[in-house]
Amino acid sequence: LALKRMSVRKDYRGLGIAAALGRTALAFARQRGCRAVVLNTLMLQHEARALYERLGFRRHRRYVLPTAYGRLANCTITTYRYDLSGTP
């Protein structure tokens, strides 16, 4: 399952909503027999990366955005993976 564009409006951040959404996505994937949940995040999204790591996602790989701008700005993408195999 690929998780894309999860966000919480700024004035509602810090209330645990994103963590609940993340846990719900993991439960959804688990119930449907998915082997893993993957997502990409930009290097500048510090809070998002910290959230994914708290939820148990592991860094899978990093790469520079393969565009002229990405190379010029060294825009790094981190791919995270949450393995579901062997979990109830």
Q: Is the pLDDT of residue 22 over 80?
A: yes
CATH of residue 60's domain is: 3.40.630.30
Angle ∠(18,22,24) on CA atoms, nearest 5: 115
pLDDT value at residue 86: 66
pTM for this prediction: 0.82
Q: Is the pLDDT of residue 87 over 80?
A: no
- Domain containing 49 equals 2-83
What is d(CA 24, CA 20) in angstroms, rounded to the nearest whole number? Answer: 6
Is 88 part of any domain? no
Please, which pLDDT band fits residue 8 given cuts at 50, 70 and 90?
A: very high
pLDDT tens per residue across span 61-86: 988 888 887 788 778 889 999 999 86
Q: How many domains does the chain have?
A: 1
- CA dihedral (5, 10, 11, 12) positive or negative: positive
